[in-house]
Structure formats: C-alpha cells, structure tokens
C-alpha cells in the first residue's frame, strides 16, 4: 500500500507543474475524462458535492461550471501545496463564477466531516494513492447522504490488444517526459507502478460493492486505460 507521508511529499514536489504534466502525458485526454465524470455528476443534480483528492482543483472547477449557480462544491486534499495551487487558480477567476466553491485540507482515510454531509462524492485518480482503499471507501460512504452517489474516475487495466504499447509508454517514455516537465522523474515512476498494480474494472467494482455501495457500474474509457465507476449509497 502507498506510504501516506511519501505520497504527500511527492505531490508537494510536483504541485507547480502538475497540471501541465497531466495535459502533456495524457495527450489531452484528461479533459475528455473530466467531462465524462462531470456530466455523470450533473445528471444526478446533487445539492452539494465533495471532490476528494482534489489536487489542483480542476474537477472542482469543472463541477462549478456544470452545476447550477451557487451549488456548494468542496475540494479536499491532504497535500497543502496542491491546495495552494487550487486556491491560486480560484483567486485568479471572477468570484461571482465560483460562489459556493471552497478548498479544505483533509485526509481521505479520516475525513473531517460529519456523517451524511454530501449528495455526491467524486474521486479522480486518487483512490490508488490511498494507503487503505477499504477505509477510504468506508469514509466516503459515511459522509454521503442516503441515496447519494459516488463517482470514481481512475486508471484501470487496458484492453489486451493495447497492453504492450501502453505499458511500454508507462514504464519507459512517460517517466522521462515527466522528469523533463516536473523535474521529478521518480514521482512518476511511483505513479506508474500504482497504475500497473491497480485492480481492473471488475475487481474495483467488487471492492466498491463490498464497502456497502449498491447500483455499482462502470464504463471503460480510452481502450480501458481509464474507468468511470458510479455507485449509490
């Protein structure tokens, strides 16, 4: 399991170039993945949303654009430098467009929130970095209201036909490119390892169901390299 201290330190080191690295390394597909997630959330018309492991806040900002004006959106992360980046982006945008958006420090294994706090929780590319996925899913379920929904956007195991090319890219090309962009090649070697070891769609579906969620289903994106899971509290 990932070491929380090491993960926190790693994200702190790459925070300033994190967005640029994501756009380059995904070939811009991160915009498409985010749109699919946000569209799924918007269809549920939640009264409020917690964006867990918000990082630099891109999903939180996208949710604000897609949901009715004033809908509360809380972006939460345990890495302060990432939250600093999110708040800097917020400060640079018109306040009237961001009413109800806030960023808070919080650990995904022990959320500083009361029970039944939100209609929806989103978690994008953060579940694989949790030291205990079962504990994180239990905490998410705790803070969701009955009838609320979980949305997990995460890397998955690609279709068999594309695996050789995909894993060659992950192991050999991506760390080198990321090292040039962020100055921290080691961080992306770690991230690639977590991608390769992460459960496939069926396995993660079972983990979410075992955590007490119902109506669990998923959709494969981009040759199965990414999956969007949805579940009800």
In a domain, 135, yes or no: yes
Query: What is the CATH number for 40?
Result: 3.40.50.150
In a domain, 142, yes or no: yes
Which of 12, 5, 3 has its CA nearest to residue 184? 12
Tally of domains in the chain: 1
Dist CA 71 CA 76 (whole Å): 16
User: In the predicted model, what is the mean pLDDT of residues 173-188?
Assistant: 83
In a domain, 112, yes or no: yes
- Summarised one tens digit per residue, pLDDT across range 103-125 is 999 999 999 999 999 999 999 99
User: In the predicted model, what is the mean pLDDT of residues 17-38?
Assistant: 91
In a domain, 171, yes or no: no
Contacts of 222 (CB under 8 A, 6+ apart): 29, 32, 33
Which of 22, 36, 95, 77 has its CA nearest to residue 220? 36
In a domain, 143, yes or no: yes
In a domain, 185, yes or no: no
Contacts of 25 (CB under 8 A, 6+ apart): 174, 177, 178, 181, 188
Q: What is the mean pLDDT of the chain?
A: 93
- Summarised one tens digit per residue, pLDDT across range 126-177 is 999 999 999 999 999 999 999 999 999 999 999 999 999 999 998 888 888 8
Q: What is the pTM of this model?
A: 0.93
In a domain, 87, yes or no: yes
Domain encompassing residue 61: 4-158+199-232
Residue 217: pLDDT band by 50, 70, 90 thresholds?
Answer: very high
pLDDT at residue 91 greater than cutoff 80: yes
Q: Look at residue 122 in the predicted model and tell me its pLDDT.
A: 98
Q: Specify the 3-state DSSP secondary structure of 69.
A: coil
In a domain, 107, yes or no: yes
Characterize the bridge pairing of strands 49-52 and 118-124.
parallel
**Higher confidence at residue 43 or residue 185?**
43
**Contact of 110 with 43, CB cutoff 8 Å:** no
Q: Alpha helix locations (H) across the chain?
A: 4-14, 18-25, 29-44, 58-66, 80-91, 133-143, 163-168, 174-182, 185-197, 201-210
User: In the predicted model, what is the mean pLDDT of residues 205-228?
Assistant: 97
């Amino acid at each position: 399991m990932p070491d929380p201290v090491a993960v926190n330190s790693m994200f702190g080191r790459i925070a300033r170039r994190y967005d640029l690295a994501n756009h380059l390394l995904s070939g811009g597909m991160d915009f498409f993945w985010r749109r699919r997630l946000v569209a799924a959330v918007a269809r549920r018309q939640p009264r409020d949303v917690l964006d867990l492991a918000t990082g630099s806040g891109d999903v939180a900002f996208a949710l604000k654009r897609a949901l009715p004006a004033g809908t509360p959106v809380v972006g939460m992360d345990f890495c302060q430098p990432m939250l600093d980046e999110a708040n800097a982006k917020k400060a640079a945008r018109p306040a009237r467009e961001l009413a109800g958006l806030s960023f808070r420090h919080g650990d995904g294994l022990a959320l500083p929130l009361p029970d039944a706090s939100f209609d929806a929780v989103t978690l994008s590319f953060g579940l694989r970095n949790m030291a205990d996925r079962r504990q994180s899913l239990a905490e998410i379920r705790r803070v969701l209201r009955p009838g609320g929904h979980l949305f997990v956007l995460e890397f998955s195991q690609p279709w068999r036909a594309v695996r050789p090319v995909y894993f060659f890219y992950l192991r050999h090309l991506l760390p080198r490119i990321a090292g040039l962009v962020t100055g921290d090649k080691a961080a992306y070697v770690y991230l690639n390892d977590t991608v390769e070891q992460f459960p496939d769609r069926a396995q993660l579906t079972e983990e979410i169901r075992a955590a007490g969620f119902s109506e669990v289903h998923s959709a494969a994106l981009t040759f199965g390299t990414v999956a969007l899971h949805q579940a009800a509290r």
